[in-house]
Amino acid sequence: MTSPLILVNLKTYREGTGNRAHMIAQAAQIVAQESGVTIGIAPGYIDLHPLCHHFSIPVYAQHVDGCEPGANTGHITVDAIKAAGAAGSLINHSERRLTLAEIEASVRGLQAHKLISVICSNNETTSAGAAALVPDYVAIEPPELIGSGVSVSKANPEIIKKSVAAVHAVSPKVKVLTGAGIQTGECVKIAVDLGTDGVLLASGVVKSKEPAAVLRDLVSKL
């Protein structure tokens, strides 16, 4: 069985930018090596290349556009994140929603470059729709719990169970993450026991004064 993925989205938090992004990546790399659990990090674009250069953990973009390189302004192409060293990208995060056509274009672009695609969704219906595009992962995050400190694993385990079933009914090979309010190893264990392949989280790690301690707790029950 492959290791669950703990994917830490640094968002645009000040505590996850610049030197702090390096510090969190360093902590993630140490805990990943100690535990054998795969820990990925999704920094802002400015930090993407330096983190890919300095660390061996998988580094993801927070968003990618499906457009080809060329005469586009202010877009982030799959070519650009690949050249920066990214392992893949989030797509359609709750804080960066896209149209269905844009989501498909981003997934196809990532697939063409053999990068990992993680489509975010907000409920079991959109999770099933996302699965129809056959990304590597669908990440279900109830928006009302994002950044709340209240864990989806405890507040709404039903949505996790239903989303795993909905995704696998469409495409059994698509892996499922869940997120929103994930803080502890217990939250991660519940999510994995409910059939997910890991978690997507942000504030619990990014805003902590001791990210390494939080990460050690997150992997402690796997």
For residues 215 and 27, the answer to whether their CB atoms sit within 8 Å is yes
The single residue among 40, 44, 66, 181 that binds ligand G3P, judged by CB under 6 A, is 181
Kindly state the smallest distance separating residue 72's Cβ from ligand G3P, in Å: 25
The Cα 39–Cα 57 span in angstroms is: 7
- Look at residue 35 and give its three-state secondary structure: helix
Residue of 5, 6, 9, 28 interacting with ligand G3P (CB under 6 A): 9
Q: Which residues 137-166 are close enough to bind ligand G3P by CB under 6 A? A: 141, 146-147
**Residue from 39, 201, 214, 219 in contact with ligand G3P (CB under 6 A):** 201
Within 8 A by CB and 6+ apart from 38, the residues are: 2, 3, 4, 5, 6, 32, 57, 58, 198
Q: By CB under 6 A, name the one of 21, 159, 191, 200 that touches ligand G3P.
A: 200
For ligand G3P, how many residues bind (rule: CB under 6 A)? Answer: 15
Binding residues among 82-101 for ligand G3P as defined by CB under 6 A: 93-94
* List 52, 182, 190, 192, residue binding ligand G3P (CB under 6 A): 182
DSSP tag of 57: S
- Local structure of 40: helix, strand or coil: strand
Taking CB under 6 A as the binding criterion, the range among 48-56, 121-129, 186-194, 199-207 that sits at the site for ligand G3P is: 199-207
Active site residues: 93, 141
How many other C-beta atoms are found inside a 10 Å radius of the C-beta of residue 187? 24
User: What's the closest the beta carbon of residue 168 comes to ligand G3P, in angstroms?
Assistant: 22
Q: How far is the CA of 96 from the CAs of 63, 143, 173, in angstroms?
A: 7, 12, 25
